[in-house]
Chain A
């Protein structure tokens, strides 16, 4: 079920420009706030734009932003975590205090602060999400490295003459990378929600661009007139896709967890 939802969503996003091209700035003032019908599956909004069509393009933007931002966050978090976990000592303490400090701030507020310093654009949104979501990744990587470092097989490698780099690349990173990939995927839904929240607040993408957040924001003015579809439909699309993503990564994690795997192998 989750896999089907996600596959459909990704396929639709990839094929959209070929099959259903969208003129982002086109409006149809003759047909505003039309209820869902065969012509407009999810109705039209206050400017007569097709809600289903724009939700699809909104999802495209949201998933792209989510994925790239999650990647940025993973790179930052991975680097910080790796340095803290391998160098240790004072460097570790300083880095972890920085992480704790940033984690203490509400990250939406911090994200708003970051976009406010830049011009509203795709890049600004991605940076805002990337800079606020790397904390958990850094912690995961660090704690994983710290627990690996004391394992006897690392002692055996050191005793066998392996250099620091060799220990890191041959024994430590291969254990951490699957965890890191998992953390990235788990972060995508968060990043999508964050992007949506920024756009809803009017700090995300330029308003004429179809993004889920922009649409929910636009749609709320129509809610009072009874045109519920222009906000609810993009919202539902977002919930369905991010839930599907979360369910799938959860299943992946169960398979990946070495403890679970070891038990399966007896």
Chain B
């Protein structure tokens, strides 16, 4: 059962330089008795855009959370530039957590409804000790990059559209200049124009910083257009 999994998942990824990149090695995870990930391998090399495909319930989002250092796998491990990562969330130093950013499907669930868009974008900088004015300035710069006008920055999430809020989430994700960006159906709720704009911003960022992107999407056209390599995630055995 291991053999086909490794083949589908490993494919071209295993040929990349093993030391650089973000990788899952034989990662397994289950919620209760429900197995979600079963000995999954995935390698993200700097600069590439890996499309992750699979039916509903095949654990794509869970794999993104494991790679995003938000969830510890039951078995297997994650390596970051060749070094194994032990634990997840607060067990890891902020300096490592901020190297990997996640963009979620629903920007509304992913933002604190009490904060203004400017504060949402600046928050990761403030949380890691950047001064208020410096954080504001950097946030404003990124906001412009993702296409948020200054008047939108003063608003709170309920007063902007999903598309505008997801732009803020992208600005927040890029604020620490991460080496890896994981997009979990990040444009599924957005119109074609906003999707194309955000994809353009991410591609430019990737080119400048040689960052890697994990792209999870149900849209075959988007996958074909954007991903440099596509990986299929089979449903876990025994489910």
Taken residue by residue from 20 to 51, chain A's Cβ proximity to chain B (1 for < 8 Å, 0 otherwise) reads as: 00000000000000000000000000000000
CB 8 Å contact bits of B97-129 with A (1 = contact, 0 = none): 110111010100111111000000001100110
Distance A161 CA – B96 CA, assembled complex (angstroms): 8
1/0 contact trace for A218-231 toward B, CB 8 Å?
Answer: 00000000000000
Is A254 at the interface (CB under 8 A from chain B)? no
Q: Could you tell me the distance between the alpha carbons of A10 and B145 in the complex, rounded to whole angstroms? A: 56
Instruction: Contact check, B109 vs A151: say whether CB atoms are below 8 A apart.
Output: yes
In the complex, A151 Cα to B89 Cα: how many Å?
14
Sort chain A's interface into a size bin.
20 to 34
A162 near B127: Cβ-Cβ < 8 Å: yes
Give the complex CA separation of A164 and B65 in angstroms.
18
Q: Does B69 contact A (CB under 8 A)?
A: yes
* A174 vs B111: C-alpha distance when bound (angstroms): 14
**Complexed CA–CA distance, A204 and B124 (Å):** 53
A174 touches B94 (CB 8 A): no
Query: Interface 1/0s, chain A 137-175, versus B by CB < 8 A?
Result: 000000000000001110111111111101000110011
Asked whether B90 is an interface residue with its Cβ less than 8 Å from the other chain, the reply is: yes
Contacting pair B70 A159 (CB below 8 A): yes
Q: Does A88 contact B (CB under 8 A)?
A: no
- The residue of chain A having its C-beta at the shortest distance from the C-beta of B92 within the complex is A158
Q: Is A258 an interface residue (CB 8 A)?
A: yes
Known: A166-B127, A262-B158. A159 touches B110 (CB 8 A): no
User: Which residues of chain B come closer than 8 Å to A164, judged between CB atoms?
Assistant: 90
A265 within 8 A of B: yes
CB-based contact B128/A161 at 8 Å = yes
Contact A159 B127, beta carbon cutoff 8 Å: no
Tell me which of B114, B127, B159 contacts A174 (CB under 8 A).
Answer: B114
Determine if A157 and B123 form an interchain contact, defined as CB atoms under 8 angstroms apart: yes
| Given A152-B109, A152-B110, A160 contacting B158 (CB threshold 8 A) | no
CB contacts (< 8 Å) of A151 on chain B: these are 109
A161 touches B104 (CB 8 A): no
Which of B29-37, B76-84, B168-176, B199-207 touches A?
B168-176
Contact with A along B57-80 (1 / 0, CB 8 A): 000000001001110000000000
B104 touches A156 (CB 8 A): yes
Residues of A within 8 A of B127 (CB): 157, 160-163, 166, 170
Distance (Å) between the CB of B159 and the closest chain A CB?
8
Which residues of the partner chain A approach B112 to less than 8 Å between Cβ atoms? 153, 157, 171
CB pair B114–A152 under 8 Å, yes or no, is: no
**Residue in B94, B110, B114 whose beta carbon sits within 8 Å of that of A163 in the complex:** B94
We find that the number of chain B residues with CB closer than 8 angstroms to chain A is 31
Residues A265 and B110 in contact, CB atoms below 8 Å apart: no
Q: Are B111 and A153 in contact (CB under 8 A)?
A: yes
Cβ of A158: which chain B residues have Cβ within 8 Å of it?
70, 89-90, 97
Contact B98 A159 (CB under 8 A): yes
B172: contacting residue among A152, A156, A258, A265, CB under 8 A: A156
Could you say which residues of chain B place their CB within 8 Å of the CB of A262?
Answer: 113, 158
Are A161 and B90 neighbours in the complex by a CB distance under 8 Å? Answer: no
Chain A neighbourhood of B175, CB < 8 A: 160
| Complex contact B114–A159 (CB within 8 A) | no
Given contacts A152-B109, A153-B112, A166-B127, contact A161 B102 (CB under 8 A): no
Q: Which residues of A contact B70 (CB under 8 A)?
A: 155, 158-159
> Complex formed: what's the CA distance from A164 to B90 in Å?
7
Q: A155-B102, A170-B123 are in contact. Are A160 and B172 (CB under 8 A)?
A: yes
Distance of A259 from chain B, by nearest CB (Å)? 11
- State the CA gap A170–B68 with chains docked (Å): 22
User: Is the beta-carbon distance between B90 and A163 smaller than 8 angstroms?
Assistant: yes
Give the 5 A-B CB pairs with smallest separation, nearest first: A160-B124, A161-B94, A162-B127, A152-B110, A161-B98
User: Given A153-B110, A166-B127, A262-B158, 15 more contacts at CB 8 Å?
Assistant: A151-B109, A153-B109, A156-B102, A156-B172, A157-B112, A158-B90, A159-B70, A159-B101, A160-B101, A160-B128, A161-B94, A161-B95, A170-B123, A258-B113, A262-B113
Q: 29 A-B pairs, CB-CB below 8 angstroms?
A: A152-B106, A153-B111, A153-B112, A155-B68, A156-B172, A157-B123, A157-B127, A158-B70, A158-B89, A159-B68, A159-B70, A159-B97, A159-B98, A159-B100, A159-B102, A160-B101, A160-B172, A160-B176, A161-B94, A161-B95, A161-B98, A161-B127, A162-B94, A162-B123, A162-B127, A163-B90, A164-B90, A175-B114, A258-B113
